[in-house]
Amino acid sequence: MKILVLPGDGIGPEVCHEAVHTLKALAQARGLSIEFQEDLAGGAAIDAYNDPMPDEVIEKAKAADGILLGAVGGHKWDHLAGAMRPESGLLKIRKELGVFANLRPVAVSAALADASPLRPEAIAGTDMLVVRELTGGIYFGEPRGRSGEPGNEEAFSTMRYSTGEIERVARVAFEWARRRGGRVCSVDKANVLVVSQLWRDVVTQLQAREYSDVELSHMYVDNAAMQLVVRPSQFDVILTGNLFGDILSDAAATLGGSLGLLPSASVGGKVGLFEPVHGSAPDIAGQGIANPVAMLLSAAMMMDELDKPIIATAIRAGVETALNEGLRTADLHREGTTTKVGTAEMAARIRAAALDSLN
């Protein structure tokens, strides 16, 4: 099994290091051989290659079985524009790999119920999967542009979806619903946007044609944002476009108490891309205090995708044990009730507990 590791920027390298260490330990315990390759992405690649995602890195990615990505971006590169931004590198690799479905599972573990910004009774039972379209919509739509003189400029982006793009990601959502609670809530802005009207029609027709066993509902994105913080437990699978999914998944992620917990898997192409939802967090980079859980859970999603569910389950069990024992990184620590640990210590406990769970 060949894994390409793209640590990226900020806290990316710190959390990636722990994920690789953990995968190595678990693979060895299971007699599985994983070959890790590493390369640069985002700001680190701009510094070294003057390109946030060089074609050589894309080629290596396409030749791998899975890709672990930390995070990209940081203040150092904030002045750059367009294709030279670290974020453009991330968008490029998603597009090149054709990973059109981004899966972001949000479950609030009992150990963390009191870390949620919501009251415990409001958060109880929350267990949802956000399926976000990832290679289309307004992130990639043409035409786009900016013109005019300073003081009198105009700029535009285009939100565009075709029937095929909507159907393929909707299928992913319906399939997941079958394996979960059997319900899909499709989120759009069909009361205003014509692109959302097509989205709603296509999803409705696909459900009627192929997924009548799955319950489908529709929600406008503004209402969905509110429902996520009022009664998040009502959701099973949320299906939505690229921009709405970006926004809603950050809101959903923080229900669990910290963005540092939310993993993601981007699938649909030949090779999957696995990255935590949190960004590069430049304010805490290099201090050894970042939460490694989202990255470790992303590695678990990768092992599931690569048909190694035993390793995936062990990682999740390790996370559960560490949290149940009261270990917390700074983002989740509460003075007097939990034990504050750094990135390495948190990951080491998760790793040890994961290994124990294998026996």
The residues of the shown chain that bind Mn ion, judged by CB under 5 A, are 246
CB neighbours of 262 closer than 8 A, spacing ≥ 6? Answer: 104, 105, 106, 249, 252, 253, 256, 276, 277, 278, 294, 297
Q: For Mn ion, which is the closer residue by CB, 133 or 246?
A: 246
User: How many residues belong to the chain?
Assistant: 359
Which residues contact ligand IPM by CB under 6 A?
87, 90-91, 246, 277
CB neighbours of 39 closer than 8 A, spacing ≥ 6? Answer: 4, 5, 6, 45, 56, 57, 60
Rounded to the nearest angstrom, the gap between the alpha carbon of residue 15 and the centroid of all alpha carbons in its chain is 14
Shortest separation between residue 169's beta carbon and ligand IPM, angstroms: 15
Q: For Mn ion, which is the closer residue by CB, 18 or 246?
A: 246
Which of 358, 349, 342 has the alpha carbon at shortest distance from 324? 349
Distance CA 32, CA 359 (A): 16
Shortest separation between residue 53's beta carbon and Mn ion, angstroms: 17
Q: For ligand IPM, which is the closer residue by CB, 86 or 318?
A: 86
Instruction: Tell me the β-bridge partners of 129.
Output: 105, 237
Q: For ligand IPM, which is the closer residue by CB, 22 or 264?
A: 264
Structural contact between residues 86 and 70, judged by C-beta atoms closer than 8 angstroms:
no
Q: For ligand IPM, which is the closer residue by CB, 305 or 322?
A: 305
Structural contact between residues 124 and 233, judged by C-beta atoms closer than 8 angstroms:
yes
Choose, from 9, 92, 188, 189, the residue flagged as catalytic: 189
Shortest separation between residue 70's beta carbon and ligand IPM, angstroms: 12
Shortest separation between residue 148's beta carbon and ligand IPM, angstroms: 26
Residue 250 falls in the annotated catalytic set: yes
Shortest separation between residue 94's beta carbon and ligand IPM, angstroms: 8
Q: Which does 90 bind (CB under 5 to 8 A by kind): Mn ion, ligand IPM, none?
A: ligand IPM
Residue 246 falls in the annotated catalytic set: yes
Q: Is 237 helix (H, G, I), strand (E, B) or coil?
A: strand
Shortest separation between residue 275's beta carbon and Mn ion, angstroms: 10
Tokens of 164: 């095929």
Residue 222 falls in the annotated catalytic set: yes
Distance CA 293, CA 85 (A): 27
Q: Which residue is nearest to ligand IPM (CB)?
A: 87
Tokens of 98: 């054709």
Choose, from 114, 222, 283, 356, the residue flagged as catalytic: 222
Tokens of 73: 């971006």
Q: For ligand IPM, which is the closer residue by CB, 255 or 341?
A: 255
Q: Which does 127 bind (CB under 5 to 8 A by kind): ligand IPM, Mn ion, none?
A: none
Q: Which does 34 bind (CB under 5 to 8 A by kind): ligand IPM, Mn ion, none?
A: none
Q: Which residue is nearest to Mn ion (CB)?
A: 246
Phi, psi of 339 (to 5 degrees): -105, 120
Structural contact between residues 134 and 168, judged by C-beta atoms closer than 8 angstroms:
no
Q: Which does 177 bind (CB under 5 to 8 A by kind): ligand IPM, Mn ion, none?
A: none
Choose, from 9, 39, 95, 139, the residue flagged as catalytic: 139
Sort strands 2-8 and 35-38 into parallel, antiparallel or unpaired.
Answer: parallel
Q: Which residues are catalytic?
A: 139, 189, 222, 246, 250
